[in-house]
Structure formats: structure tokens, C-alpha cells
Amino acid sequence: MFWEELLQTERPEGQRYWPVADADGRYAGMAGRDGVCVAQQPCTTEQHALEALKVLAETHFDSVAVVDLDGYLLGGLSADRLTAWMGAQWCFQLPGSSVWLQSAQSMMSSWIQALEEEGYRVVALATDFDPSATLFGTWIRLDQPDPTAAVETLERLGATVLGSYPPGRRHNDAQDNLDHLIHYLNL
């Protein structure tokens, strides 16, 4: 499983919390930089990476303990290492483009249909609600390398597109338009 490639036994530099074991090797809790031990639910090697992500999100710690089925500490997993692994394994390896947007509503099926009519297929989607701004932030991964038409479609439907990657035709058009304007200003 994925734990073998992710687990670390030594505390990485800069980690606020790191799992510690008692004298018998059983998980004892998460030690802060000051050495004070705090209780946190560990993950077992039988759980999926999403469970570790859930524990990190619920506790606001920067690492999670990983134990075997008997409660013996196997190592720790930092949030940075987990997110980097997830990004490398899931959908970023797929060819395509990404779009980040913000809207008063979450990604609607009509938006996905509009993207499909443009020839795009949404291969991954994540949405999060920001209660302070009362807006939804959404990240979508598309199967096409140029996100230009998708960005234009989403903007036409009322979404505020915060960014896209890789730069598509729209980026090139903006540069061409700027060069054209500078040419006429120099006349």
C-alpha cells in the first residue's frame, strides 16, 4: 500500500507536531515542539489516505501518526508529504488542464454540461465553502490541455475564474493584443 513510501520515522524540520511512542513502542500521542504530548487519533495501515487527510483536517495538526493494528507506532506522516503524494498520484498525472474558480454556488450540473458541449470532460472536481466570504471555491481538472474555452464558458455562466493552468490560447491572445497596442502607440 502507499504507507511504505510515505511514512517517516524522524521528525522533519519545521513540524509543529510529531507522533511519539512509549517505552514499549506503542503510540502515546503527538508531541509539540515544546515536548508536550497531545492526544490525536492515529491512522492504521489498513486505512486509506483520505482517512489521514480527514484526521489532519479535523485536528488542524500538521502531521498524523500511523500505527499497526496492535497500536504500535510505525511512523508519522506530514500534511505536506501526504498532499504532495496525493497530487502526484491522483489526476495530476493525467494530461489536461486545471481551472480554479469562485462562485456564490457550487459547481452546477449545467456548468459541467456546458463544458462537455465545448468538448471538455471534467476528470476531477473539488469544492469547498468559505463561510466568511459566503462563496464556494472550486478546482476542476479537465481532460484537454488548453483551458481557454472552458474558462470563457464558466465566466459566461457567472463564475469568477481565479486562474487556470497551463496558460492557454487566451494567455497568448492577451500578449498578442498587448504587442499590437504597443505597436500602434509607438506610431
Query: CATH code at 40?
Result: 3.10.580.10
66, 76 in Cβ contact below 8 A? yes
Residue 182 lies in a domain: no
In a domain, 77, yes or no: yes
pLDDT in tens, 8-50: 889 988 899 999 999 999 999 999 999 899 999 999 988 877 7
Domain final residue pick, 87, 111, 133: 87
Transcribe 43-63 into DSSP letters.
Answer: EETTS-HHHHHHHHHHHT-SE
- pLDDT of residue 86 exceeding 70, the answer is yes
How many domains are contained in the chain?
A: 2
Domain holding 31, by residue range, is 3-87
How far is the CA of 34 from the CAs of 26, 30, 123, in angstroms?
Answer: 21, 11, 44
Same domain for 104 and 82, yes or no, is no
**Among candidate residues 56, 87, 118, the one where a domain is terminated:** 87
| Rounded CA separation 3/82 (Å) | 10
Is the per-residue pLDDT at 187 higher than 90?
no
Q: Is position 178 within any domain? A: no
Res. 132: pLDDT tops 60: yes
Q: Is 182 helix (H, G, I), strand (E, B) or coil?
A: helix
